[in-house]
Amino acid sequence: MNALNTRMGRDLLELWTRLTEYPEDLRCVVLAGTGERAFFAGGDLKERNGMTDDQWRRQHEVFERQHWTLADLPLPVIAAVNGHAYGGGFEMVLPCDFVYAARHARFALPEVGLVSALADDVAALRALALDTARTIAGNAPLSVRQAK
């Protein structure tokens, strides 16, 4: 299901770097997953299970650099989401310039919901946002940074 492992992260970082430096005659990139079930299913949990904290930090650094290199790519990037885009798969979609998805595609982030609350109008939206900001600001700064 196209799980993102360290090797794939390095390969994508190398690809985005090469396309930034030497685009040749390319004018656009289409990013798609193999098969029909998943665009990217997220991180490879089997690989991650046996990692030390240091190995995980190094892997995360590769993923971060890959993400920002894709975001800075001067060529337009179209994500063709052919299935599940979960976790890291959803994050692969975010730096793309256009996103086209099959009707059966699903997007999800396990860390947090995309929308925390809904408001009925602009005044209620601002009040809700400011109330939450006051609650956060009322906590210890170090605790807030650590929780974020």
Tell me which of 21, 24, 36, 111 is the catalytic residue: 111
What is the C-alpha to C-alpha distance for residues 49 and 69, in angstroms, rounded to an integer?
A: 27
For the question of residue 91 being annotated catalytic, the response is yes
Q: What sign has the CA pseudo-torsion 92, 94, 97, 102?
A: positive
What is the C-alpha to C-alpha distance for residues 41 and 13, in angstroms, rounded to an integer?
A: 18
Q: Convert 99-131 into a string of H (helix), E (strand) and C (coil).
A: EEECCCCCEECCCCCCCCCCCCCHHHHHHHHHH
Q: Is 24 left (phi over 0), alpha (psi -120 to 50) or beta?
A: left
For the question of residue 36 being annotated catalytic, the response is no
Please give the DSSP secondary-structure letter assigned to residue 142: H
CA within 13 Å, CB half, 21: 6
Active-site annotation, residues: 91, 111
